Structure 1
Amino acid sequence: MPTNSSYPEAPIPDVDLWGFLFERKDKPFSDDKVIYVDPHTNRSYTYAQVKATAIEFGQGLKALWDWQKGDVLALYTTNCIDTPAITWGTHWAGGVLSPANPAYTVDELAFQLKDAGAKAIVTQMAFIKNAQEAATKVGIPLDHVIVMGDERDPTYRVKHFTSIRKTAGSARYRRTKAKPDQDLAFLVYSSGTTGHPKGVMLTHRNIVANTMMIKVAEGGKLSSTGGPGGDGDKILAFLPFFHIYGLTCLIHQSMYSGFQLVVMPRFDLEDFCKIVQERKVTFLYVVPPIVVLLAKSPVVSKYDLSTVRMMNSGAAPLTKELVEAVYNRLKIPIKQGYGLSETSPTTHTQPWETWNTQIGSVGTLLPYQEAKYMSPEEKELKPGEVGELWIKGPNVFKGYLNNPEGTANALTPDGYFKTGDVGYQDADGNFYITDRIKELIKYKGFQVAPAELEGILLSHPSINDVAVIGVYEKEEATELPRAYVVPKDGLGRTDDEKKAIVDWLGKRVAGHKRLRGGVRWLDEIPKSASGKILRRVLKVKAQEEEQGPKAKL
């Protein structure tokens, strides 16, 4: 029998995200509670200000751009406190939000815009050039590319989102309600093993359910009142809002539960420590490379991080040694969680009480779900037996956009999502993830598709064949993309030529896709009879190779 969650289950409200957040009767905090704050400018939004700004933006979309139900707004930006109001303003108008990585090149962004069918783009001035070029490539009018944030540049004739809010006659427009279990709230893009990213279709009900799941999982440990200064818990947001981890766990959880979210545009260790100390941050969502810095960097010793009561780490497993190193140094406990874009994202987390007794586990199954581990023959396995994790619940996505084959391969007829992750469950209901069936490389929480890099590298004039794998780097607690290259005649197989390939690819892809694991030469790429790259053979080879210097980028 599939495992059910041991957490209590309250009914999931049958409403769209706007109704869930802004039409509720049980809000435990006041309308003037500051929810989002920029620690650098001290600009902030209260609950009431987010609501009012979102309504005005949604009205402006309808008045200015004839916004229709299902229209897609792309968000191409680093973290910004304007993001929540723009997100829910899009939903107010019946639209769908599709966040894109601001590190994307013009071509990478253009693919997402075209695939999603985006009608408009919101960005910041730092990214306006790429946003406009990508918009032109896919036929989005340049007056549908607007900016948010504090920066202005008179050399670009581009509207700020606040001008959309002030569109004449917009106040006569009314909210478009969404069908919670059918209409999309988000189109997030997850790297596909075949190369191009896949549009993960997440409904309003998916996000409502996952927000409720997270709230139940934290078991009342987090509060909108009390704590240092009586302001309740404060969460530092440096994980990207364009990723589902940031979208749900940070943006939605803070608004629903009344936590203050201190918003960093991007991670910087010194800035991070300073803000934790000055703002008395109490809870942190992190990824393993951040945990490594907290365990080892001398910068950390300059600051008082004692207000942090708990950290939650996701995206990749943590070792016992790393968890204990941080606790011994800072006395901050770290619990682990697990999730995927396709599950909105969080499916498991460790209870606060077991952070130091179940290190290595991703925790127990959150409420409203069922899970089981399956053999390669798709037979259900018993506790302790290793297989692929399948999950079913209201947080499981609707499918992949424009990709019926991918959807059919990922979702079973009875609603289970095949995660592609391998592991087991112990007798006490703790889940463990030990490996991946998927070929995706995870670099600091970002997914990198080997096939995408291979496709680009094969266009290099000096490369005959290539295979890309992830190699684990212990010092950084992450996988690094490495290319095994069969050179064409005339390539001298020198270190300079390796670096030239690394640099060549680096100019064509987002930063997280660069070959930080370097380049290795091969005479032949190992392949199966059907021509499929045998990546596991290369992984064994990587383990056997003497530790060589990584490519310097």
Structure 2
Amino acid sequence: MPDAEGVQKGEPKILRWDGPVPLPPVPDTNYASFLLNIMLQHGEKLALVDARTGKYHTYGDIYRAVPRIKAGLAAAGVSQGDALLLMSSNHIDFPLVLLATVLAGAICVPVSPTLKPDELALLARASGARWAVAHESLAPVMQEAFGQLPPGTLRQLWVLGSAPRLPSLANLMRSGPSPDGHAQEMIDSRTTVALMMFSSGTTGPPKGVMLSHRNLLTSLLQNKYLKSLSPPGTPNVLESTLLVIPVFHTYGYIILVNTILMGGKAVMMARFSPERYFEAIQTHKVTFSPIVPHIAMYLAKTPLMSKYDTSSLLAFASGTSPLAPSTHVELMQKTGKGAGIGYGMTEACATIASNGGSLGFQLGSVGKLLPYYEGKVVDVETGQILGEGQEGEVCVRGPSIMLGYMGNPKATAEVLDAEGWLHTGDLGFFDQDNFIFLTDRIKDLMKVKGYQVAPSEIEKIVREVEGVADVTVVGVPDDRLGEAPRAWVVPAPGASLDPAHIQQHVAGVSL
């Protein structure tokens, strides 16, 4: 950021991966076929386990089942380019459906199991989906959603489990594999959409992010390449991964795929429950636990952890939103485990930068740019490329960047420029070691007396007040100031806060 005199420092710079060996080229192939061939190398090792029931699939099970599901989809009429909605909490059959759909050259559209029928109907319409798979408990929601669309929109709904008068995944598999069940459909990996995941983008309502086979393959190779740089004998952190973060979300899905890549076991948990979380770590000898900030805050303070054997755990990772440095430190001190940070976007096919591991660590940073990416920070007003320590919008480019938003060229043009740069909408800067630090969201900036004010700066100051557990600051219209900051403060348990004291504290600090 600018120094105390406001003097800018650092020459304009493009950040690029600078690894010890060249990056392998991204193959032109079907993503699901590529992933299945990796699974074949893992034999009959455990791949997917349900944390609650103990049901499981081995890698061999998945390798044999996916072509059969693909054949069942084809027999039902699912064709290349068709979209299939997949609605479920974390379930061991979720990856099977996704891979079978993609292997067939169709588009898998994972959606949140918490959606209401009217919300789901909007996503079904936006994606153009004609087919659907839902967990047995969510079949009524799916039916009600498609009931809001023109008759005949939904060609068929299958369920994970069983539901009255609805075919199941088992019905799909009864068709048996076609003679070329593992064969990939002829596709152009650069332009063929494999997954469509919904994101609000840099702002606004959810949009269908079109991710190509090449986008997904790049993300896969990214992690395979990083693993190849590890010294011999380095423990496999992903040997047993506890997935309590949702795999319909890019963060959870990419962690799942990375676990598969490493031949690890993915322990699927439908929702976070403290006791079941620790029981799963103890029972399944979990080595890696990706989490989100609110779970990190809980783990940093709960006494429950001491009641379970968590000695197998090697590391945590946190993503989706910023993790306060104080919570980050507290989590590592409390557990004695490493805790990496990831920064990503659905539009970039997940992780853009990583803080921890072989890339090094800087507290408060989101890390260094991952392989296959270029990055830059640009002036918000002029678009000029900035240098070290200068705050601006973070932009990234590379073969994992989305094709665009489905049916929304205007929104696509707002975030993807003519040179292929994805404008993230995040404000930040990089230091002399190329660690990236995020400071705010562009859309969150307030104009107070004509000056740009970042809510995160005020939030940081308010959190210094004793008794404040959390705070959110937004700009509200003000006749005198243009915009004025308004804070919603959450007191810590048992704390009594005086608004006047908080205001005096903020007023006494120079922003």
TM-score (ref. length: structure 2):
0.82
The residue that corresponds to 2:30 in the other structure is: 16
Q: One-letter code of the match for 2:436? A: F
**1:214 positional shift:** 2.6
Query: Structure 1: how far apart are the matches of 2:110 and 2:270?
Result: 15
Residues 118-175 of structure 1 show CA distances to partners (whole Å, capped at 9, x for unaligned) of 01111112212111100221245666121114xx34xx21111110121379668764
Going from structure 1 to structure 2, the CA distance change for 1:476 and 1:547 (only over 3 Å counts) comes to closer
The within-5 A match list for 1:149-548 is 149=161, 152-153=162-163, 156-167=164-175, 175-191=184-200, 195-217=204-226, 233-250=239-256, 252-352=257-357, 358-376=362-380, 377-439=382-444, 526=477, 537=483, 539-540=485-486, 542=488
Going from structure 1 to structure 2, the CA distance change for 1:429 and 1:185 (only over 3 Å counts) comes to same
Conserved 8 A contact 1:292-1:476:
no
**1:215 positional shift:** 3.2
Root mean square deviation, CA, Å: 3.3
Conserved 8 A contact 1:289-1:478:
no
Query: Structure 2: how far apart are the matches of 1:477 and 1:541?
Result: 13
Conserved 8 A contact 1:193-1:439:
no
Aligned length: 461
Aligned to 1:421, the other structure's residue is in SS state strand
**1:540 positional shift:** 4.3
Aligned to 2:337, the other structure's residue is in SS state coil
Query: Structure 2: how far apart are the matches of 1:175 and 1:158?
Result: 29
Conserved 8 A contact 2:388-2:429:
yes
**1:299 positional shift:** 2.0
Query: Structure 2: how far apart are the matches of 1:428 and 1:225?
Result: 25
Aligned to 2:148, the other structure's residue is in SS state helix
Q: One-letter code of the match for 2:175? A: T
Is the aligned partner of 1:113 residue 2:124? yes
TM-score (ref. length: structure 1):
0.76
Going from structure 1 to structure 2, the CA distance change for 1:168 and 1:319 (only over 3 Å counts) comes to closer
Q: One-letter code of the match for 1:381? A: L
Going from structure 1 to structure 2, the CA distance change for 1:192 and 1:383 (only over 3 Å counts) comes to closer
Query: Structure 2: how far apart are the matches of 1:222 and 1:161?
Result: 42
Q: One-letter code of the match for 2:96? A: A
Query: Structure 2: how far apart are the matches of 1:104 and 1:296?
Result: 31
Query: Structure 1: how far apart are the matches of 2:258 and 2:233?
Result: 11
**1:240 positional shift:** 0.5
Aligned to 1:202, the other structure's residue is in SS state strand
**Gaps in structure 1 of 5+ consecutive residues:** 441-468, 485-524, 529-533, 549-553
Going from structure 1 to structure 2, the CA distance change for 1:61 and 1:302 (only over 3 Å counts) comes to same
**1:176 positional shift:** 1.9
Is the aligned partner of 1:94 residue 2:98? no
Q: One-letter code of the match for 2:304? A: V
Conserved 8 A contact 1:225-1:233:
no
Going from structure 1 to structure 2, the CA distance change for 1:195 and 1:337 (only over 3 Å counts) comes to closer
Residues 215-259 of structure 1 show CA distances to partners (whole Å, capped at 9, x for unaligned) of 33456659999779xxx7111111101111111222x21222211
Query: Structure 2: how far apart are the matches of 1:233 and 1:11?
Result: 27
Is the aligned partner of 1:4 residue 2:16? yes
Query: Structure 1: how far apart are the matches of 2:232 and 2:279?
Result: 23
Conserved 8 A contact 2:117-2:141:
yes
Query: Structure 2: how far apart are the matches of 1:60 and 1:434?
Result: 49
**1:272 positional shift:** 0.9
Going from structure 1 to structure 2, the CA distance change for 1:175 and 1:126 (only over 3 Å counts) comes to same
**1:320 positional shift:** 2.7
Q: One-letter code of the match for 1:526? A: P
**1:311 positional shift:** 1.5
Conserved 8 A contact 1:143-1:159:
no
Query: Structure 1: how far apart are the matches of 2:40 and 2:154?
Result: 42
Conserved 8 A contact 2:146-2:154:
yes
The residue that corresponds to 1:82 in the other structure is: 93
The residue that corresponds to 1:512 in the other structure is: none
Residues 75-98 of structure 1 show CA distances to partners (whole Å, capped at 9, x for unaligned) of 111010101110111012111011
Conserved 8 A contact 1:207-1:248:
no
Going from structure 1 to structure 2, the CA distance change for 1:306 and 1:411 (only over 3 Å counts) comes to same
Going from structure 1 to structure 2, the CA distance change for 1:374 and 1:123 (only over 3 Å counts) comes to same
Q: One-letter code of the match for 1:158? A: L
Q: One-letter code of the match for 1:314? A: G
Query: Structure 2: how far apart are the matches of 1:179 and 1:137?
Result: 34
Conserved 8 A contact 2:102-2:195:
no
Q: One-letter code of the match for 1:307? A: S
Query: Structure 1: how far apart are the matches of 2:235 and 2:357?
Result: 19
Going from structure 1 to structure 2, the CA distance change for 1:416 and 1:227 (only over 3 Å counts) comes to closer
Going from structure 1 to structure 2, the CA distance change for 1:273 and 1:169 (only over 3 Å counts) comes to closer
**1:403 positional shift:** 0.6
Going from structure 1 to structure 2, the CA distance change for 1:161 and 1:547 (only over 3 Å counts) comes to farther
Conserved 8 A contact 2:239-2:262:
no
Query: Structure 1: how far apart are the matches of 2:69 and 2:358?
Result: 43
Query: Structure 1: how far apart are the matches of 2:405 and 2:369?
Result: 24
Query: Structure 1: how far apart are the matches of 2:15 and 2:471?
Result: 31
Conserved 8 A contact 2:87-2:113:
yes
Conserved 8 A contact 1:68-1:94:
yes
**1:289 positional shift:** 0.9
Is the aligned partner of 1:131 residue 2:111? no
Conserved 8 A contact 2:30-2:103:
no
Larger displacement relative to structure 2 (397-406 or 5-14): 5-14
Query: Structure 1: how far apart are the matches of 2:405 and 2:343?
Result: 21
**1:117 positional shift:** 0.5
Is the aligned partner of 1:46 residue 2:51? no
Conserved 8 A contact 2:471-2:487:
no
**1:192 positional shift:** 5.0
The residue that corresponds to 1:522 in the other structure is: none
Conserved 8 A contact 1:12-1:209:
yes
Identity %: 30
